[in-house]
Amino acid sequence: MTNTRAMAWGGLYPLVLLLLVGGAFRSPNLYGLGALLAGGLLIGVLRRAPLWALVLTLLGAVVMVAVGGPDQSPGRFLPFLAADLALGFIVATRPRRVWITAAVLSALLQVVTAFGFMSGPDHQVAVAIISVLLLGTCCLGGLLFRERREHAVALRSQEVAEAVTAERLRIARELHDMVAHSIGIIAIQAGVGSRVIETQPAEARAALQAIEATSRETLSGLRRTLVALRQADPQTEASLAPAPGLADLERLAAATADAGVRVELRWAGERRQLPADIDLSAYRIVQEAVTNVVRHAGTGHCRVTVDYGAEELSVEVLDEGRGVPGTAGSATLGPGFGITGMRERAGLLHGRFSACRCPSRPWPG
């Protein structure tokens, strides 16, 4: 409803009151009920200017009570119920200071009207109490509606904050898993190249080629990730390269072999198509575990076992390394987040993760 239409309907309110005052209804109850229903004409005004709607209903109610004649029926005070409903809307939608002021003034006006136009102390007290109780009921309803709305807003804000946090963690895991593995291989190949560049040019050239290939692959992955993050059109997202999965472990093993660590892949159970989130998480966990072997284990061999169970997927990465002193964390970047990321990935899929030095699991001969 536009402002013009709202004002037009609101303008009919005093006309209806004039008709009622003119004697359209002789019964005081019907008289009050007609004035109460006339308040419905102010709904448009109530939505746009609730304080003005409250003032109009209060003035209209006072006028209707004042000119209603000597009849002492409480039905004469029905027009005040429209003001109470308008007050409930104000309580639900306006600041505390505004609705408290409006409630106090409305209550005082109704009490004064009851004592001013009703004869007899009993009638005056009874009508005043009923008026205040109705006003308090409408205010309580407005408060309950306000609390419910604020609670819903708080829940939505909390859901948005949790979604943002979850997305940030997902992006952090993806970037860490993508970059850490590649940078680890690049660092090792660069070290190999720098040591043999004078004596073994062919080996140095192979190391540089591995660095170039790994760098290009990493840049391509980062570009896909950034495009997906910035992409607002979901249809374009389908054109991006698919996320890696367990089917890419052979390529991961080949890249890791170039870094000097041979990865032995073992498959158990019937290989099958997995849900995308499980497939990606399993690949990222293996990638991060193999990266840790390359950077920290001090060994040239590790074994990756992927077991397709009937209702679960098990992944094990085992190496015979003893660890390289001083590699628990990067000297420049501080402690890593690899194990934390792997544990989070497993936990998000209701899985279990463990990482340990396991003397009970000797390297198979």
Give the Cβ contact number of residue 96 at 10 Å: 9
What pLDDT, on the 0 to 100 scale, is given for residue 159? 84
Query: For 39-76, what is each residue's pLDDT tens digit?
Result: 666 776 777 778 888 888 888 777 777 776 555 565 66
Query: For 259-281, what is each residue's pLDDT tens digit?
Result: 778 899 999 988 888 888 888 88
The answer to whether residues 269 and 234 touch, using CB atoms and an 8 Å cutoff, is no
DSSP, res 65: H
Phi, psi for residue 134 in degrees, rounded to 5: -60, -45
What pLDDT, on the 0 to 100 scale, is given for residue 306? 94
Assign 212 to helix, strand or coil.
Answer: helix
What pLDDT, on the 0 to 100 scale, is given for residue 331? 37
Query: Which residues of the chain fall short of a pLDDT of 70?
Result: 1-41, 44, 68-76, 177-178, 180-181, 224-242, 323-337, 358-365
What pLDDT, on the 0 to 100 scale, is given for residue 256? 84
What pLDDT, on the 0 to 100 scale, is given for residue 304? 93
The answer to whether residues 295 and 259 touch, using CB atoms and an 8 Å cutoff, is no
What pLDDT, on the 0 to 100 scale, is given for residue 330? 42
Instruction: Give the DSSP per-residue string, 144-190.
Output: HHHHHHHHHHHHHHHHHHHHHHHHHHHHHHHHHHHHHHHHHHHHHHH
Q: Distances from the Cα of 260 to the Cαs of 198, 257, 290, in angstroms?
A: 20, 5, 12
What pLDDT, on the 0 to 100 scale, is given for residue 215? 78
